[in-house]
């Protein structure tokens, strides 16, 4: 009798897992309480995967031998609780796909901030080096779908804490941890240490043949490493701007405007002034990417050329246009306080800051000094802006309350003058007004084009 796999969720993670399960000969059933996007339905139909949407048929779900759960579904969901009560194993797409990747290797990137840019940069370097490589996890194609339909030697995977939570035997050949700052605490009983422990799962199952790359400047990462003591077996490759480090396996350190990344006998030196991505956060991202690709065996000259060629990632401090001496900047991907900290840190001109959305238990204290020095007006865009207004009252001279994108953009336009920047950097999730941060960023750019650039 065929083993029964149930896939919870019909998004990019779910449809890929279902197709891989089908290819491997399982009895597969995909179920989603919402609507499945037409492009995913088409692929499920093409592969003759049985699925349902708008409901969960419990009888079928609880008859599974194993459940592959999409990362957006919390463990507290009633159906997940019932599955666990039955003793049915619940895993992530990453764990499931990892079983079938064969001899291919993985570079896995996680962290509260910087992981998308770092992942994209690593993927570019690997591709420029001629490696047969796929981009997946939180961005790119579904890891499971790539495993089902392609033959790659490398997988570059951006992993969220939710994806890491569903992994038990999966191992990263190269693991990258950018930083650990408070985020998604609503999914971790509002305990920072629980979230941090989830991030550290990037190191699980690693051997002495593997590499672990991390920020030596990040306090929580250092604390977690101290707790792990001798249990971490991978080669440790730290990167730092503010901390003196010396690692026998390799490291990356900034001195002046240049950093040198070294792994074993190979090293690459980067002049950060020649990079197209700016700000201290992007120096961290480039150092991590250099170490990861050196560890993967890429030649230093390729790494240098690719880092200099790399352009900003969409929705992360992305220029949206400039007119009348006012720069418009789309940082919609900044969904937590630490991301906004890096954004405000990089601002070199008076800033009209658009923020707000679904608050995730934010503590805005780290932003207040930058806000005092750099922000001339705060435009609150969300259905409930009370906390933002309260926390920045008396710090930012002008605070305006808006409940729609158009209202917020017109307010920002009124308060901005020549020499200013308008920065969308929300510090919050997008779900009160938008489907996701991508839609928020796209609509921001469309508004700028239609109402500012094309006037």
Question: Other CB atoms closer than 10 Å to residue 111's CB: what's the count?
Answer: 30
Angle, in degrees to the nearest 10, between helices 300-309 and 280-295: 150
Among 160, 206, 153, smallest CA distance to 187 is for 160
Per-residue model confidence (pLDDT) at position 212: 96
Backbone angles phi, psi at 452, to 5 degrees: -120, -55
Among 443, 426, 260, 245, smallest CA distance to 333 is for 426
Q: What token pair was written down for 281?
A: 């956060």
With residues binned 3-state (H G I as helix, E B as strand, rest as coil), the percentages for the chain, rounded to 5, are 40, 25, 40
Per DSSP, what are the bridge partners of residue 215? 239
Per-residue model confidence (pLDDT) at position 213: 97
Question: Other CB atoms closer than 10 Å to residue 451's CB: what's the count?
Answer: 13
Residue ranges per structural domain of the chain: 4-91, 97-309, 318-453
Per-residue model confidence (pLDDT) at position 138: 79
pTM to 2 decimals?
Answer: 0.76
Task: Residues 97-309: name the CATH superfamily.
Answer: Mur-like, catalytic domain (3.40.1190.10)
Low-confidence ranges of the chain (pLDDT < 70): 182-191, 229-230, 455
**CATH hierarchy code of domain 318-453:** 3.90.190.20
Per-residue model confidence (pLDDT) at position 140: 82
Q: Does domain 4-91 have CATH number 3.40.50.720?
A: yes
Plot region of 268 (φ>0 → left; ψ -120 to 50 → alpha; else → beta):
beta
Per-residue model confidence (pLDDT) at position 60: 96
**What is the DSSP secondary structure assignment for residue 365, as one 8-state letter?**
G
């Amino acid at each position: 009798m065929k083993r029964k796999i149930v896939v919870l969720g019909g998004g990019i993670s779910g449809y890929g897992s279902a197709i891989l399960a089908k290819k491997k000969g399982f009895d597969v059933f995909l179920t989603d309480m919402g609507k499945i996007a037409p492009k995913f339905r088409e692929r499920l139909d093409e592969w003759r995967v049985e699925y349902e949407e708008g409901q969960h048929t419990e009888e079928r779900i609880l008859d599974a031998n194993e459940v592959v759960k999409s990362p957006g579904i919390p463990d507290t969901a009633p159906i997940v609780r019932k599955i666990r009560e039955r003793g049915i194993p619940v895993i992530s797409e990453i764990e499931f796909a990892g079983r079938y990747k064969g001899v291919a290797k993985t570079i896995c990137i996680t962290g509260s901030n910087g992981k998308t840019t770092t992942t994209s940069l690593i993927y570019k370097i690997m591709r420029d080096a001629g490696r047969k490589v796929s981009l997946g996890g939180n961005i790119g194609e579904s890891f499971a779908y790539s495993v089902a339909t392609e033959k790659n030697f490398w997988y570059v995977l951006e992993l969220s804490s939710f994806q890491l939570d569903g992994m038990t035997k999966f191992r990263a050949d190269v693991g990258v941890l950018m930083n650990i700052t408070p985020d998604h605490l609503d999914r971790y009983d509002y305990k920072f240490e629980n979230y941090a422990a989830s991030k550290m799962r990037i190191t699980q199952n690693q051997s002495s043949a593997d590499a672990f790359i991390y920020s030596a400047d990040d306090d929580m990462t250092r604390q977690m490493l101290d707790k792990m003591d001798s249990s971490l077996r991978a080669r440790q490759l730290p990167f730092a701007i503010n901390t003196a480090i010396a690692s026998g396996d390799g490291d990356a350190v900034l001195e002046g405007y240049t950093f040198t990344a070294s792994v074993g006998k190979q090293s690459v030196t980067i002049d950060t002034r020649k990079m197209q991505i700016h700000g201290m956060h992007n120096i961290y991202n480039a150092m991590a990417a250099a170490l990861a690709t050196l560890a993967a065996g890429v030649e230093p000259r390729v790494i240098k050329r690719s880092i200099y060629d790399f352009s900003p990632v969409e929705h992360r401090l992305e220029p949206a246009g400039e007119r009348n001496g006012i720069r418009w900047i789309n940082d919609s991907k900044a969904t937590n306080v630490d991301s906004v900290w890096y954004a405000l840190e990089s601002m070199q001109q008076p800033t009209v800051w658009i923020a707000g959305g679904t608050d995730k238990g934010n503590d805005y204290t780290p932003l207040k000094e930058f806000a005092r020095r750099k922000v001339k007006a705060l435009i609150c865009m969300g259905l409930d802006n009370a906390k933002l207004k309260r926390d920045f009252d008396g710090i930012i001279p002008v605070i305006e309350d808006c409940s729609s994108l158009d209202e917020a953009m017109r307010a920002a336009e009124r308060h901005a003058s020549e020499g200013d920047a308008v920065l969308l950097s929300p510090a919050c999730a997008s779900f009160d007004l938008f489907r996701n941060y991508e839609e928020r960023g796209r609509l921001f750019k469309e508004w700028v084009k239609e109402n500012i650039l094309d006037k």
